[in-house]
Amino acid sequence: MTEPRYSLFPDHDSRTAADHALTERLGVSRRLMPSRDVVPAGPSGEWLRELRNMRFDRPRELAGLTEWVIDGLETGTVQVTHPGYLGLFNPAPTFASECADRIASAFNPQVCVHSHAPAAVEIELHVIREVARRAGMPDGSGGHFTSGGSEANLTAMLCALQAACPAYGDDGVCAFARPPHVYVSEESHLAWLKIAHAGGIGRNAVRLIQTDGRGRMDPDALAETIATDISSGRMPVMIAATAGTTNAGMVDPLTRCGELAREHGMWFHVDAAWGGALIASDTGGALKGIERADSITIDAHKWFATTMGAGMFLTSRPDVAAQAFRVDASYMPRSVAAKDFFVNSIQWSRRFVGLRLFLALAAAGWRGYAGHTERAIRLADRLARRLQRDGWSLANDSPMAVACLVPPEGHEAVRSYVDSVHRDGRFWVSTAVFEGRTVLRACITNGRTSERDVDALVHTLKAVAPSIWSTQAESDLSVSEPHRTDLD
Ligand SMILES: *Cc1c(COP(=O)(O)O)cnc(C)c1O
């Protein structure tokens, strides 16, 4: 018997047919999505057994394999593209960004060197410059796309250390006469601790500044901690303010943080991984002060809703990034160093991820994104107002599309409500800890979530209310969910 053979590089006709079939299959999945549970029960035991038994010892039909994978994803992942997913900031991706992924895959350009893919590099640089301009940064600002917010934040810290001590790049932290420290709020994204470790300054060099009772960095506590650290022989190198905390969408006092950083010769970074999309909207000035930052993190894969794995590092001091990431590799083609990402960033080989935001932004315009963010904010407000009528209270006061809610029965009842919502299956919301207390967190992440969905969630919460006490004992034992939502 001859084994089936699979060609890794099928001919044009069979590939085109398979492409069409896959597109159709994904269309069916998308159409059925809203009628499915947001949190399916799987993956099934059988699916997992099949996976474990797959030893890659014989070829298989690709069509069967893709079907098997789609089945696994349909039944074995939280459906973040479901309109009932009001969760951690994992977006339903824009169609334009999905198109960008296909185009990038087809041409597979190597974006690390300008001379190798000038069209792709110029597109990315253009998007970065326009986003920086929109954020109010000065002319000459630059930056690059990253894998996400964590990489962009790591890049910012490495730049801060480089700017504080030019010998850091060659000699590491030993080059510092005094141990360098960085300053973030207690409500910041705790990847900062890993970042400090990765940059060699250690987790203990991250000062978690207390918040003001409303989820924002307390600037007086910040000033005091910096002063104490200086007098006890430490070296403050960076303030990283959060503009849109992951839990509650709160914005640290950016102007004050920027002034303190200037005063002490520190790098001023703004982590706007999620909330940065508000630059699209002219209303409110929620991000005022962001324009003074030495660097900004904005994720394309959060509120700008590209497919996963796309963040942005923006900086008004691109020369510092060039020093931090300089390298001389004889085998690399060189062109204009400022346009060669591999000597200005952490990554070497690069995927053309910037195309995702380029296509979406060019197609919808800033106005389109303003509509997208404002719509989400209206829906979050609607949810909060409806529940307030039923005796719930709103714990946060965010300019973004997130509501941290406390049920009439109090903070202790949050988990029961969340568990009941998950059991119902049509919605996904999370528990979070805001200012030390458990809240129900609902965040609008999907451009197709509607008023009807929000009203249905309100009804669901009403319907489960009388039953929550009977399930309390059971859910007290449940450890199925992390208490903070640092995971996104
Ligand atoms: C999501 C988030 C991050 C981390 O970004 P990733 O893209 O997950 O790496 C950092 N900071 C804030 C405020 C975030 O919301």
pLDDT in tens, 21-41: 999 999 999 999 999 999 888
Secondary structure (DSSP) of 257-297: HHHHHHHTT-EEEEE-TTGGGGGG--STTTTTTGGG-SEEE
What is the pLDDT confidence band of residue 467, given thresholds at 50, 70 and 90? low
In the predicted model, what is the mean pLDDT of residues 2-24? 88
Residue that has been written with the tokens 């029960």 in this structure: 41
The span from the CA of 461 to the CA of 468, in Å, is: 10
The span from the CA of 488 to the CA of 303, in Å, is: 12
At 231, list the tokens.
Answer: 């007098």
In this structure, what is the dihedral angle of CA atoms 356, 358, 361, 362, given to the nearest 10 degrees?
-130
Q: Give the pLDDT score at 396.
A: 97
In the predicted model, what is the mean pLDDT of residues 7-18? 93
Phi, psi (rounded to 5 degrees) for 390: -95, 15
3-state helix, strand and coil shares in percent for the chain, rounded to the nearest 5: 50, 15, 40
What is the H or E stretch that residue 462 is in?
helix 451-464
> Which residues, 6+ apart, have CB-to-CB distance to 480 below 8 Å?
none
Q: Give the pLDDT score at 320.
A: 97
| Nearest CA residue ID for atom 5, ligand 1 | 149
Q: Residue 38 — left, alpha, or beta (φ > 0 → left; ψ -120 to 50 → alpha)?
A: alpha
Q: Give the pLDDT score at 4.
A: 61
Q: Give the pLDDT score at 338.
A: 83
- Is residue 273 lining ligand 1, measured as CB closer than 6 Å? yes
pLDDT in tens, 312-330: 999 999 999 999 999 877 7
What is the pLDDT confidence band of residue 334, given thresholds at 50, 70 and 90? low
Q: Distance, CA 9 to ligand 1 centroid (Å)?
A: 37
Q: Distance, CA 273 to ligand 1 centroid (Å)?
A: 5
What is the pLDDT confidence band of residue 161, given thresholds at 50, 70 and 90? very high
Please compute Rg for the chain using Cα positions.
24
At 273, list the tokens.
Answer: 């991984």
Nearest to 153 by CA among 397, 486, 433, 446: 486
Q: Distance, CA 391 to ligand 1 centroid (Å)?
A: 32
pTM of the model: 0.94
Measure CA 63 to chain center: 32
Q: Distance, CA 246 to ligand 1 centroid (Å)?
A: 7
What is the SS3 assignment for 3? Answer: coil
The span from the CA of 327 to the CA of 317, in Å, is: 18
pLDDT in tens, 250-299: 999 999 999 999 999 999 999 999 999 999 998 768 999 999 999 999 99
**Which of the two residues, 2 and 153, has the higher pLDDT score?**
153
Phi, psi (rounded to 5 degrees) for 73: -70, -35
**Atom of ligand 1 at shortest distance to CA of 243?**
13
What residues pair up with 404 in beta bridges, in sequence order?
441
Given a cut of 50, whether residue 487 has pLDDT beyond it is no
Query: How many H-runs (helices) and E-runs (strands) does the chain carry?
Result: 15, 11
Mutation pick for ligand 1 pocket among 271, 290, 295, 445 (CB with most ligand atoms within 8 Å): 271
pLDDT in tens, 182-236: 999 999 999 999 999 999 999 999 999 999 999 999 999 999 999 999 999 999 9
